[in-house]
Chain A
């Protein structure tokens, strides 16, 4: 049953020559592996992996050869092969004749006393001169012969007249038995394994040849016995569709019996990794890895043994080495054989029945972790690969950006606009500038009665009562074009909204904006702004001054403004082709302005609406310009509709410019929430929340509420605090808490106060109203107020004593009293404490708690400081 069907193919790596292997089927062929780029152009080669190829070094017919092994004789310049023949003869050969044959081994032959089939040959890798041969049964001879190739050899020419003396094997075992295969345990103790008589695994101890020790295990699954190179007592064998693992010390039963889906026809231990067994099933396209878990030590009690079996004591998985160029499309042919590389980590060579060879490296399962330091993953061979966080910078990841911003005190500057420059991002910069603007407008009294500290256009337009205000429609003439006129709308609300947009009311305010826009290098915007303020002459001047010649051409077109049908058509055709949204808007706006000669019908100018919509549809214009334009030229109903629609769109997109419309209101929270979900930039959201949102929106709701928006801001703050903690950015963290608590009003913030252990009341400042003070986790109120007290002001019981100086806390033990040195401080573990200054001094020299009989290592509870 062990005879392979038809085309037998075996592959064996040379144990010493790491770049050579043989494939043995109808021929024995020696290959050399080299990188593809090292192979000379005209040489024929077989590609075995993406970057390696194998070239044939030598080949010979394998007629009559029954088994092959490659020796580990290190002195041999080319791999030395032992061939076992059908006659039982074993010959040594080197497929490629080397110039020198230092040991003179090539060509030697070893003959058994009685001719019969040779089943297996095996070279010892430790004592490289030993060769074991397994043979079929003969009733009066032994089936396992041990040869010393240096000694008992017969040169080929003398083989006919072999002298009985020299032809004697070193040892013989297994009288009148059949040995199916032999293999050495590659450990120094000269142990040979053999599968014998269809049911035994025999382990021979050959250290003393005159007194051979034999261990026997009985099993149907006795074939292919081999030992784990790392654990000489661990043995694997196969049979039918089962792989067995044995403990050589307890051979009464197999350690593991692993049923396999197919008939197993080859197993091998990995020589470079512990406890890894590889098996190949018949007609299988995959190799199966058995990762033996070594848990059941020899001490496993029999009773517990049953329980162990319930768990997976082996992890199995399959790998499919595929030849780089499959000979035929479709299913890869099943594998015929494989061989581990003797030295390279987890590398193996697999050969399929079609003769394709694949050089494959079995990947260990890679574990990966991501932390503050960077990504780390296991790189095989007990190494870790570590990628510092610089990678995140290259990826422009938000985590890196946020950390860098946090280090620059982003969001914590006293003036809101100062944060805009730190953001280094257009959208965020706009956000902070708007917040600064709206704050200053509120403070200047331009906007009153706003429910929010930072109102947006929408709340300003609404604040006089829902739709309760009326705008006054004013037909205006364009000063430079007296024959054209437009209708503009005014009201107090619109004026305030225009201020938020940065336009202001009237040309006096707007002229500055136009100049700024021109100075910023956006002449188109400047021109459009001037035109929207009905200063067409000014717009033309701006365009005429522009550096780009085509803008001057546009100015030419504008100057020719007329009601001629020809001009209008040309304009309509040309406008979409203009490169700049502001120029397009400018032309559309002028085209929409009605000629003054038309019958004055201020109530309903029918063509005006759609045309102005076209201006507003130029979404490449800045939002503030669009909104301001709408505030000037749209009637009330349309304006509300426009603002509502735009707000909803921007919230949906999470576009930060929408803060102009929403302000720091619940709608603004929804907008920021979308921004966070879109970009992950929880930092800006948390900072805006801490600084600008009303405190009701910051509270962490205890109960799920109807409006999820109420819980968002607390989530941002929590997430950002946790990030700052993880980055050890304590100062930004405390400043954030200060800002968040600052708006809270008295008493609402979380305080840490020292309570008297007797009466439970705060010992600090008992009779004053609570001050709005930031919560510092370990730093309770300064001792200034408690300088003189050494007992609780409520119950007059003494305060605890400092563990170092034994004075009552609060008694001003440290000089200066009010300074940090006099503050309460304590270990969160053992609850002992004292004056902060004393504790700092103490832990410079000690690791244990200053309180005698307390063994708490207070200071080592913190992770070691990095140098």
Chain B
């Protein structure tokens, strides 16, 4: 098969991130030259490209008191700023302030300062994203109890001050969110959120009771209405019925519609088209026309993450089958798997040191810095 051939062409290189636990998120900055990783070991690490395909660790610090779920970069116009969210019920905004004077093992690491700690959530904060640049310095978080919070830094120079502008209750557990990156002023600010609420009869019932228009979908679209000065749910995608793990709007690239990738039981690409005001009445008042362009269950299991390339013409997805797949747009609305990467089963070739370290006296590891690398 063609896809096999292509897979063989690619050689993925390995970066030893040295996180002590599962890496939950990796985020590139705007230029794709810096990378932030976060992990269950409560650390956040910053990596800089050396321009030749290699990555150098330039920052590493313990950011939270719980697993760090997501990390995201602000537009470089606002400086070198990232936001993280964690199981410890907080989200934090960090800014790089230059080189440290530290010597020894920390030499070369740059200092990141916590500018703000957003503690409004009562439950685990599951996702955090900076808003599109043209809206100012906005930050949106969502939490497991289903509240979306939109913060704004009124003074972009003062990252310590964030005002909670909007609090949107959704009544279902929210796992992920994505801003619509469209630059066009025609589209009002738009957010898509996905819920990982399991499909129990209970949950379905509760959703139905609080909304007259029953919708069992797990993906909601919120839009900001300039007139009402509030965010309102304008659509609920009925095509996504299973718990959603990740959601991503494609870079708009001047398209007249939006592409939304949804990671659920399968990889879905949904075309969201605004219905013009004039034809609104004919359409039963629906704000959007949605169409599922494709749904691939090639992962044979739960899909965990989806991610677009810079033009929105390639989609990467990862699933519980340990594979990363690339999907390529073939012709208008047609997508095909272009490559598959399987994480090499590490059982085959464990690092030689591992076999012997399994029985070292673990008491020597009281200091986590002494942990054997794995």
Contact = CB atoms under 8 A, between A and B. Distances in A.
State whether these chains interact. Answer: yes
Contact of A369 (B28, B329, B354): B28
Interface string A355-366: 000000101111
Given A293-B66, A397-B309, A715 B254 contact: yes
B324 to A, nearest CB: 5
A866 B51 contact: yes
Interface in A244-301: 271-275, 291, 293-295, 297
B229 interface: no
Interface in B292-340: 302, 304-314, 316-324, 326, 328-329, 331-332, 338-339
A686 B24 CA distance: 37
A559 interface: no
A676 interface: yes
Contact of B79 (A275, A365, A382, A829): A829
A395 B39 contact: no
B347 A371 contact: no
B365 to A, nearest CB: 9
Nearest to A391: B10
Interface in A661-699: 673, 676-678, 680, 682, 685-686
Given A347-B347, A372-B310, A381-B374, A273 B26 contact: no
A317 B26 CA distance: 22
Interface in A382-438: 382-388, 390-392, 394-395, 397-399, 402
Interface string A637-662: 00000000000000000100000000
A395 B338 contact: yes
A397 B328 contact: yes
B124 interface: yes
Contacts of B323: 366
A714 B314 contact: no
A87 interface: no
Contacts of A213: none
B101 interface: no
Interface residues of B, number: 117
B33 A388 contact: no
Contacts of A229: 362
Given A72-B359, A307-B122, A726 B87 contact: no
Interface string A754-795: 000000000000000000000000000000000000000000
A390 B339 CA distance: 13
Interface in A334-350: 341-347
A383 to B, nearest CB: 5
Contact of B28 (A15, A370, A385): A370
Interface in B344-368: 344-347, 350, 354-355, 358-359, 361-363
B169 interface: no
Interface stretch (A109-117, A182-190, A512-520, A597-605): A182-190
Nearest to A722: B183
Interface string B4-25: 0010011011111111111111
A677 B255 contact: yes
A317 B319 CA distance: 13
A867 to B, nearest CB: 6
Interface in B22-53: 22-35, 37, 39-41, 48-51, 53
B185 interface: yes
B282 to A, nearest CB: 16
Nearest to A847: B98
A554 B20 CA distance: 76
B123 A310 contact: yes
A725 B122 contact: no
Nearest to A363: B322
Consensus secondary structure, chain A interface: loop
Contact of B16 (A125, A382, A864): A382
Contacts of A371: 27-29, 32, 35, 310
B157 interface: yes
B194 interface: no
Query: Which of A390, A700, A866 has the most CB atoms of chain B within a 10 A radius of its CB?
Result: A866
A395 B27 contact: no
Contacts of A867: 50-51
A274 B33 CA distance: 31
A361 B14 contact: no
Given A294-B66, A366-B305, A386-B12, A397 B53 contact: no
Nearest to A369: B26
B253 to A, nearest CB: 5
Interface string A8-19: 000000010010
B18 A377 contact: no
A398 B344 CA distance: 29
Contacts of B149: none
A364 B96 contact: no
Most-contacted residue by chain A among B79, B186, B257 (CB, 10 A): B186
A677 B26 contact: no
Contacts of A188: 361-363
Interface of A: 15, 18, 72, 74, 125-126, 186-189, 229, 232, 271-275, 291, 293-295, 297, 307, 310-312, 317, 319, 341-347, 361, 363-388, 390-392, 394-395, 397-399, 402, 654, 673, 676-678, 680, 682, 685-686, 700-702, 704, 706, 708, 711-712, 714-716, 718-720, 722-723, 725-728, 828-830, 847, 857, 860-864, 866-867
12 contacts: A344-B350, A345-B346, A345-B374, A364-B322, A367-B305, A387-B341, A388-B13, A397-B311, A677-B257, A680-B312, A723-B310, A860-B98
Interface of B: 6, 9-10, 12-35, 37, 39-41, 48-51, 53, 55, 58, 65-67, 76-77, 79-80, 87-89, 96-99, 122-124, 144-145, 157, 182-186, 251-257, 276-278, 302, 304-314, 316-324, 326, 328-329, 331-332, 338-339, 341, 343-347, 350, 354-355, 358-359, 361-363, 373-374
Given A378-B22, A391-B326, A719-B251, 14 more contacts: A15-B358, A74-B359, A272-B374, A293-B66, A346-B346, A347-B347, A368-B324, A370-B307, A382-B23, A383-B17, A680-B311, A720-B254, A726-B32, A857-B97
